[in-house]
Structure 1
Amino acid sequence: MSQISRGLENVYIKTTSLTYIDGENGILRYGGYDIDDLVDHTTFEEVVYLMLYGDLPNKIQLQRIRVLLNEGYEIPQQVIDMIYGLPRDSDAVGMMETAFSALSSIYGSPWNKVTNRETAIKVIARASTVVTNVLRAKEGKKPRIPEPSDSFARSFLEASFNRTPSTEEVKAMDASLILYADHEVPASTTAALVTSSTLSDMYSCVVAALAALKGPLHGGAAEEAFKQFLEIGSPENTDQWFQKKIVEGKARLMGFGHRVYKTYDPRAKLFKRFAKQLSERNQEAKKYFEIAQKVEELGIQMFSQKHIFPNTDFYSGVVFYALGFPVYMFTSLFALSRTLGWTAHVIEYVEEQHRLIRPRALYVGPIRREVIPIELRG
């Protein structure tokens, strides 16, 4: 049994130059750049270039990325019709899976080193259109394609809500896209890598990743964390709720703890900052931010000795809620951002390290048994 690593914990399946994590010291870097610096001094489009081409772009390279994203928003009407043909109460990530399966049928093509990165950029742009229309379909609104602009985040927000977002909202959305863009090889990225190892197309890799992300122990954590704040209802209820639910009920505190980080998740610190900024202009969001702060304080008091602290999902829901997204869309917003990480990792794997991923299982059943004729079986 010593040959088995449950959950593949600390098993390395590839090398990467994309993302560096120091879980003991709370460090996250993309391509060597600290996540704080990227959020404060770059845009999502610049991070797209970084993850796909290996360094931050110059002005000409950045403009090229923006052109490709702006050209990639259009998706076939058949795919829009499929999204709108699903029941409005369908799971949002499941609706994304349906759309990307259709896109795979239409656009799925063999891997090609010359075109892989431009394909990834189109996948990211089409993901924006898919998520926009999943939201609009569930809200009973007409379809809309994001319009070209100088900001991926702005185009997405405008198409989602039919309004001009504020500068603060665009920055918060842009930061969210960067913060969720990649995190090495969690379950969804691993699923995408397994699929890419068979040389299936990039869209199919995204479908595999979405299927893994859909689970509440992965992408669904932001929704579950925010539901706690909804359940608490008001800041003055926090102590009582925490005592009854977490201390006495021994329920899991969602948004706390991480397989890799043994200290405060660096992404959580940044999400907390944007949650505070946005909640200053949104009274309902401010209520939930205050609840989150109180829960965080109680959680750290209870769990810090076990090296359990807030993770990225703890405050991200407050940011998404303040931007206007319903709770059921939080995981889809995660997916929109992580499409960059998924495509970057599968390109890196297929181009540099390709080998069919085919693990083994250690057999623990009977060694050999004789087949007894059915009429003689008891």
Structure 2
Amino acid sequence: MSETEKAEVSRGLENVYIKATSLTYIDGERGILRYRGYDINDLANNATYEEVVHLMLYGELPNSEQLKRVKDVLNSSYEVPEDVLRVMEVLPKDSEPVALMEAGLAALATHEKEFKWKERDREKALEIIGKVSTITANVYRVKQGLTPRVPSPGESYAKSFLEATFSKSFTSQESSMMDKFLVLYADHEVPASTTAALVTASTLSDMYSCMVSAITALKGPLHGGAMEAAFRQFKEIGDPSKVDDWFERTIVKGGNRLMGFGHRVYRTYDPRGKIFKSMAEVAAQGEARKYLEIAEKLETLGVKHFESKKIYPNTDFYAGILMYGLGFPDFMFTPLFALSRTLGWLAHVVEYVDEQHRLIRPRALYVGPGKREFVPLNQRK
């Protein structure tokens, strides 16, 4: 039997391990998510995003001096070259939001001249996290026809981002919810976007190019677009009184997918989803409250219908309602995901290059015809 005949293809690379990691642990059966050993609930409720940045990049929660250094580097890294924002500004206003992020990050890559892995990769990661805040804020501003704006150094990364995006002040409670959003979406092992970043890093390309690879993979509705898809589902329903009819017609009889339900890894309620639900209950006012009521009714029906298959709400189900409550239109949901996941992407590529570097070069199982004789053009029928 030939090697080709013995080989097996793992479609979607399901259950294929491409790296060892000390970053994120997931127990999909019990609904456990930990960063560097710390439970996601403890981190979301007690640590700031800047503390989690230090944890993921340097391995430990910071002391006061280390935390100050992280904040100082982030605060000093918001500025980007003028041409970067100009590239975003001159693109069509109807450009896809994530495509605007791609353009901004690719423009930043043109300024990357002499980066060398292992010399200052963690410091470079901090700088990139600062600049991605600027890029993300200006996705919103470009789409809304507003002048570009750079976040101002401030007490927290989350608050600086919010105020640069909307040109207004935010309460400590609102800033805290944005902060928790960043913590909750920061990493989730090696989904498609992180894998794309790792493939690029394995070639020893620069970090901005790794980011571009990651964000292009995030763009699809089966990955980063799921939060937006779940929220648009609530908008489609329109009113809590219509949930039962919509569910019966669209999900039960129509056989369509219930967006925001189910996960490749979790076979129980996504632990992040529970935290997002509690925050959405606080942030949802006005129209957002209506969407929350729709989501809660839909959750009840969905759990009853899918529980036997171990399909439950995931992190995307309520996250969009929280962001909408903070003022973000739904077109910003995937860029916001990218803003948070920047930390995970960078932490993974640093870990891979520093500790386990090897060019990622998988094989494809050939299933085509055997050797064929070439026929000249004038002899072909």
Q: Which residue of 2 aligns with 1:218?
A: 223
Q: How does 1:357-376 map to 2 (within 5 A)?
A: 357-376=360-379
Q: Which residue of 2 aligns with 1:337?
A: 340
- Which among 273, 279, 290 is matched to residue 268 of structure 1? 273
Letter in 2 for 1:374: L
Q: Which residue of 1 aligns with 2:297?
A: 294
Q: Which residue of 2 aligns with 1:138?
A: 143
Letter in 1 for 2:13: L
Deviation at 1:241, TM superposition (A): 0.7
- Structure 1 pair 255–323 and aligned structure 2 pair: CA distance change class (3 A): same
- Which among 244, 252, 263 is matched to residue 239 of structure 1? 244
Which ranges of structure 1 fall in alignment gaps of 5 or more residues? Answer: none
Instruction: Provide the C-alpha distance between the structure 1 equivalents of 2:246 and 2:173, rounded to a whole number of angstroms.
Output: 32
Q: Which residue of 2 aligns with 1:152?
A: 157
- Which among 63, 67, 81 is matched to residue 86 of structure 2? 81
Letter in 2 for 1:44: Y
Residue 114 of structure 1 aligns to a residue whose secondary structure is: coil
Residue 68 of structure 1 aligns to a residue whose secondary structure is: helix
Q: Deviations over 1:128-151 (max 9, x none)?
A: 000011100100111110000110
Query: Is 1:123 paired with 2:128?
Result: yes
Letter in 1 for 2:274: K
Letter in 1 for 2:50: E
Letter in 1 for 2:130: A
Letter in 1 for 2:44: V
Q: Which residue of 2 aligns with 1:68?
A: 73
- Which among 337, 348, 357 is matched to residue 354 of structure 1? 357
Letter in 2 for 1:48: V
RMSD: 0.9
Deviation at 1:115, TM superposition (A): 1.0
Q: Deviations over 1:83-119 (max 9, x none)?
A: 1011111011111011111101102543332311110
Q: Which residue of 2 aligns with 1:283?
A: 286
Instruction: Provide the C-alpha distance between the structure 2 equivalents of 1:286 and 1:105, rounded to a whole number of angstroms.
Output: 44
Q: Which residue of 2 aligns with 1:51?
A: 56
- Which among 41, 50, 65 is matched to residue 46 of structure 2? 41
Decide whether the 8 Å contact of 1:110 with 1:200 is kept in 2: no
Decide whether the 8 Å contact of 2:49 with 2:179 is kept in 1: yes
- Which among 164, 167, 188 is matched to residue 193 of structure 2? 188
Deviation at 1:377, TM superposition (A): 1.0
Residue 178 of structure 1 aligns to a residue whose secondary structure is: helix
Instruction: Provide the C-alpha distance between the structure 2 equivalents of 1:47 and 1:111, rounded to a whole number of angstroms.
Output: 25
Q: Deviations over 1:192-222 (max 9, x none)?
A: 0000000000000000000100011000000
Instruction: Provide the C-alpha distance between the structure 1 equivalents of 2:85 and 2:366, rounded to a whole number of angstroms.
Output: 46
Instruction: Provide the C-alpha distance between the structure 1 equivalents of 2:108 and 2:50, rounded to a whole number of angstroms.
Output: 23
Instruction: Provide the C-alpha distance between the structure 2 equivalents of 1:270 and 1:289, rounded to a whole number of angstroms.
Output: 14
Instruction: Provide the C-alpha distance between the structure 2 equivalents of 1:268 and 1:3, rounded to a whole number of angstroms.
Output: 35
Decide whether the 8 Å contact of 2:117 with 2:204 is kept in 1: no
Instruction: Provide the C-alpha distance between the structure 1 equivalents of 2:189 and 2:309, rounded to a whole number of angstroms.
Output: 24
Query: Is 1:323 paired with 2:323?
Result: no
Letter in 2 for 1:353: Q
Residue 215 of structure 1 aligns to a residue whose secondary structure is: coil
Q: Give percent identity, aligned residues only.
A: 60
Decide whether the 8 Å contact of 1:104 with 1:203 is kept in 2: yes
Query: Is 1:28 paired with 2:11?
Result: no
Residue 110 of structure 2 aligns to a residue whose secondary structure is: helix
Residue 107 of structure 1 aligns to a residue whose secondary structure is: coil
Letter in 2 for 1:347: V
Query: Is 1:377 paired with 2:380?
Result: yes
Instruction: Provide the C-alpha distance between the structure 2 equivalents of 1:84 and 1:249, rounded to a whole number of angstroms.
Output: 42
Letter in 2 for 1:343: L
Letter in 2 for 1:258: H
Instruction: Provide the C-alpha distance between the structure 1 equivalents of 2:115 and 2:49, rounded to a whole number of angstroms.
Output: 27
Instruction: Provide the C-alpha distance between the structure 1 equivalents of 2:226 and 2:114, rounded to a whole number of angstroms.
Output: 33
User: What is the TM-score of this pair, normalised by structure 2?
Assistant: 0.98
Instruction: Provide the C-alpha distance between the structure 1 equivalents of 2:155 and 2:122, rounded to a whole number of angstroms.
Output: 20
Residue 106 of structure 1 aligns to a residue whose secondary structure is: coil
Q: Which residue of 2 aligns with 1:304?
A: 307
Decide whether the 8 Å contact of 1:110 with 1:199 is kept in 2: no
Letter in 2 for 1:330: F
Decide whether the 8 Å contact of 1:108 with 1:203 is kept in 2: no
Instruction: Provide the C-alpha distance between the structure 1 equivalents of 2:319 and 2:72, rounded to a whole number of angstroms.
Output: 29
Q: Deviations over 1:209-261 (max 9, x none)?
A: 00100011000000000000000111111111111111111111001000000
Decide whether the 8 Å contact of 1:26 with 1:265 is kept in 2: yes
Decide whether the 8 Å contact of 1:168 with 1:278 is kept in 2: no
Letter in 2 for 1:355: R
Residue 25 of structure 2 aligns to a residue whose secondary structure is: strand
- Which among 162, 175, 180 is matched to residue 180 of structure 2? 175
Runs of 4+ in 1 over 6 A off after TM superposition: none
Q: How many residues align?
A: 376
